Chain A
Amino acid sequence: MTRAALAILGKDLRIELRTRESVPAMALFSVTVFVLFHYGLDRDSLDGAIAAGVLWVTLLLATVLGVSRLFVTEREQGGLDGLLLAPIDRTAVWVAKAAALLLYLLLLEVVAVPAFAVLLLGTDLLAVLPELVAVLVAADVGLAAVGALVAALAVETRARDLIVPLLLLPLVVPVIIAAAAATEPLLAPAQRPDELGRWLLFLGLYDVVFILVSVAVFDFLLED
């Protein structure tokens, strides 16, 4: 399975490097939303719960864009049949797609988080960067696991652009709750992140549950 997953991941990254259709769109979308919040809220800086909410809702909506495009080369160029005709464990397709989405999310955040700090944040982000990176990675793993599952569910449907957000957003509500709660004290000057470990544990459990669910059901999703 590892050989097949690496081959599919390598192919996806190569195509993304050439087309630049997913990560730049996600990053541009995030920066645009931060600019809109900057003017819409009419505030020079945010902190605490509002800052955490703005950051995570924006990242989540950018994730929807990435999930919608995750199987686009397979759908538009017949590659899905090519994958299904190969004698590989179909879970390798999910592993590769989830890994690709995880990489896209990490790259998105390399752009989006500094943009968020410049456009909206009133606190010093560098002081809490290790903790914030831990929250981002823990949340991204869950988003990638669920996102790859939803993308595979939607790939053969006609209303896939509607189905992806309708399925994905309710499924990732726990991620948003935990990630925003873990991030809130990091973005508030007077708060200490006492409960960070608890929220990271929650995100870790969510990640494990959805990885196991995805591995269990992915084969059936790709059946006709």
Chain B
Amino acid sequence: MSDRSALTVEAPGAGGVGASEPAIAIEALERRYGERLALSDVSLTLERGLTLGVLGSNGAGKSTLLRVLATLLRPHAGSVRVLGAALPAEADSVRARVGFLGHEPLLYRELSARENLRFQARLHGVAAARVGELLAAIGLERRASDPVRELSRGMAQRIGAARAVLHDPELLLLDEPRSGLDPAAWERLEPLIGRSSGRTRVLVTHDVEAALAECDAVLGLRAGRVEYLGPPDGERLRALFRA
């Protein structure tokens, strides 16, 4: 069932979403933690404007792949190009164009939602007015001055999503973005980080059904190796990843 060949996932219509370089081009990526191989021989190409789902059980290498794409981890072998820039050499230019939402919302608990977003806005060189827009978009204007430690997990996740899109990134890297969110909260976030945002997305999930519903292509990982790479084929994906 293993499919190690690179798959080029193209947007509907000619030429993808207006750019010659694909959003992501990975060739024979390898990444280790000490002696343990976390990713091995991973290759794929994702055109702009599409959503790639990354499926796999715990320890499959999903989060490692996302962290490599986010420039938080260096590839140990192979080549990785994100938005046309080679990693790790051109990581600085990638950071300005990529949004990342991981397991943790990456917020300072002693600061308020507004202070956290203003801090990130200053780091990204984004106007402070954008913070107000995003607080309204995630529905947290009334709690914007409360310290994050006093907010629920779902509220923190909403602020984390706002942080991820603060600088209007072209590529979103999302690790289980729905965790801690009720359906109403997700509805608010959908225009920012969901399919309707129009951004290229890499979506890490355990949930086969979520991947089928939201993704244009799916990468299935097992023990750091490519187990499946192709369009969202429900029958095969359920057989492989719904254990």
Contacts and interface: CB of A to CB of B under 8 A. Distances in A.
Interface size classification for chain A: 20 to 34
Contacts of B115: 11, 14
B177 interface: no
Given A3-B125, A223-B74, A11 B111 contact: yes
A85 B169 CA distance: 12
A143 interface: no
Interface in B43-98: 70-74, 92-93, 95-96, 98
A81 B122 contact: no
Contacts of A88: 123
Contact of B123 (A4, A14, A19, A78): A4
A126 interface: no
B242 interface: no
Interface stretch (B11-19, B102-110, B215-223, B225-233): B102-110
A63 to B, nearest CB: 23
A224 B122 contact: no
B119 A7 contact: yes
Nearest to A17: B110
Interface in A33-53: none
Contact of A87 (B95, B108, B109): B95
B100 interface: yes
Contacts of B119: 7, 10-11
Interface residues of B, number: 29
B163 interface: yes
The winner among A82, A83, A84 for most chain B CB atoms within 10 A is A82
A77 B108 contact: yes
Contact of A7 (B70, B100, B122): B122
Interface string A1-44: 00110111011001100110000000000000000000000000
20 contacts: A3-B122, A3-B125, A8-B123, A11-B119, A14-B110, A15-B108, A15-B111, A18-B110, A19-B110, A77-B106, A77-B107, A78-B102, A78-B105, A84-B71, A85-B71, A85-B106, A86-B124, A87-B123, A87-B124, A224-B73
